[in-house]
Amino acid sequence: MYRPNQRAGELNLGFTASDTRETVLANRKLFVTAIAQGTKTIPSLVTLKQIHSSITKVVGKADAGDEARSKADGMMTDERGLLLGIQTADCIPVLIADRRKRAVAAFHAGWRGTLKRIVEHGVGRMRLEFGSRPDDLIAAVGPGIGPCCYAVGEEVRTEFESQFTYASDLFYEVFNSDPIKEKYPMLFLTARAPGHSNIGPSLHLDLVEANRRQLIDAGLRAESIYVLGDCTSCFTDRYFSHRADHGFTGRSLSVIGIRA
């Protein structure tokens, strides 16, 4: 367990230094078996060596197994009996299905991958590889750190403003309530120039909305995009969170596949 108050049964599904390989493999087996309940065959899991890139791969049965075989942050397939698994502990998992061509894709979108348009480019790759049409695609944006908790630096906003015309819609200034500062404001006066003090609002990024906008820009209809909306940093009793747990945490898996 990664927290003293963590409930039993919350299993780490990523290979970390704090869990043995045997434990994680056993956890993954339980996870895949639970997903396959009611079906005749157990699907094979495919994962990636995620590197916060915009790289996507077309995968097949040869890519399944205990070890991730590709360095990438997106994958897609039209083969049956595979589960495409994205590991997260705050980043945004985005899953896409083509109902007509029967193809699926999964993407890992942290702020760097989002900035590089991994989801938008990924939909384009589905069109190229499978002949997918955006009107036939449905998408799910899974749990990730929300704008309530994702404080970033001004340099991140500058990067997004250089790439997206709607960047201003993705950032918020959040004022943290501090009863001591409110009661004794004179104690926190500073001679630093505006913008160089740690007093004042923090800048927060909405990664979920950023990826929803990419799906729309790629041609998906808004009503075909399902956003779960849970913040991993708020709900640490339900999800792993790298930021809330100060780096000492496990990994969740978001998966999609085509039934065998």
pLDDT given for residue 195 in this prediction: 43
CATH number at residue 182: 3.60.140.10
pLDDT given for residue 101 in this prediction: 97
Contacts of 200 by beta carbon, 8 Å cutoff, 6+ apart: 175
Q: What's 52's DSSP letter?
A: S
Domain hosting 246: range is: 21-257
pLDDT given for residue 1 in this prediction: 64
pLDDT given for residue 40 in this prediction: 86
For residues 69 and 63, the answer to whether their CB atoms sit within 8 Å is yes
Q: What is the four-CA torsion angle of 220, 100, 48, 142, rounded to 10 degrees?
A: 50
Tell me the average confidence (pLDDT) per consecutive run of 10 residues in the chain, 260 residues long. Answer: 64 91 95 91 96 98 95 98 98 98 98 98 98 98 97 97 97 75 60 51 96 98 97 94 93 95
Query: Helix (H, G, I), strand (E, B), or coil: what is residue 160?
Result: helix
**3 occurs within a structural domain:** no
**100 occurs within a structural domain:** yes
pLDDT given for residue 194 in this prediction: 45
**10 occurs within a structural domain:** no
Domain count, the chain: 1
| Cα–Cα nearest to 147, from 212, 78, 53 | 212
For residues 98 and 257, the answer to whether their CB atoms sit within 8 Å is no
**15 occurs within a structural domain:** no
Query: Helix (H, G, I), strand (E, B), or coil: what is residue 94?
Result: strand
pLDDT given for residue 2 in this prediction: 72
**193 occurs within a structural domain:** yes
- Which residue type sits at 63? D
pTM of the model: 0.89
**4 occurs within a structural domain:** no
